[in-house]
Amino acid sequence: MEEEEIAKTAKPKAKKDVAPGRVIDTYAAQCDKCHKWRVIDSQDEYEEVRSKMLEDPFNCEKKQGRSCEEAADIDYDSSRTWVIDKPGIPKTPKGFKRSLVLRKDYSKMDTYYITPTGKKLRSRNEIAAFVDANPEFKNAAPLGDFNFTVPKVMEDTIPSDLKLASPIVTSDKRISKQ
């Protein structure tokens, strides 16, 4: 049952972008009624949908002027790598940015937050220390709104030529130094 809830929100990702950035380039949510995938235009809007997913499931009508009769915006297939998010993750506090990066071996994603001052925070402890040192964020950015839950990388969408895609270093220099 939990799995079903999870499948309602996903962040698909184009294969081409994997090597340089390994970051999400497309956001999508699945309609609760017809199960088609709708592309969500921005991370902000996506986070809004995700945060309310449990109480207020997404459907086609929530995307302006759309209906379940229309073709899906995007299909779940292996033409891109999909990562499925957990519903109910709070919206990122204003001024902060939540980033997800896929590991090179596609094993999992890592979450971090970027503060309004450009600092990268990788754990709850780092967030707590930052808010302690910068009490002006205490009200706008409660600790409970930071969440390090990562989406699940969908194995059936991981490219099969993964090994070929990894860089191969065969530099003579490097060898002679060792």
Interface positions with Zn ion (CB under 5 A): 31, 33-34, 60, 68
Longest dimension (CA), the chain: 64
Q: Give 68 or 128: the residue with its C-beta nearer to Zn ion.
A: 68
Question: Residue 144 and residue 6: Cα distance in Å, rounded?
Answer: 20
CB of 72 to Zn ion, least distance (A): 9
Residues 132, 100: Cα–Cα separation, whole Å:
24
Q: Which is nearer to Zn ion, 70 or 132 (CB)?
A: 70
Q: Residue 17 is which amino acid?
A: D
Min CB(64)–Zn ion separation in Å: 14
For the sheet with 80-84, list strands across it.
Answer: 37-40, 27-30, 9-14, 80-84, 152-153
| 33/138 with CB nearer Zn ion | 33
Task: Provide, rounded to whole angstroms, the least separation between the CB of residue 37 and Zn ion.
Answer: 10
CA distance 28 to 100: 15
Shorter beta-carbon distance to Zn ion: residue 60 or 127 = 60
Least Cβ distance, residue 33 to Zn ion (angstroms): 5
Residue 100 three-state SS:
strand
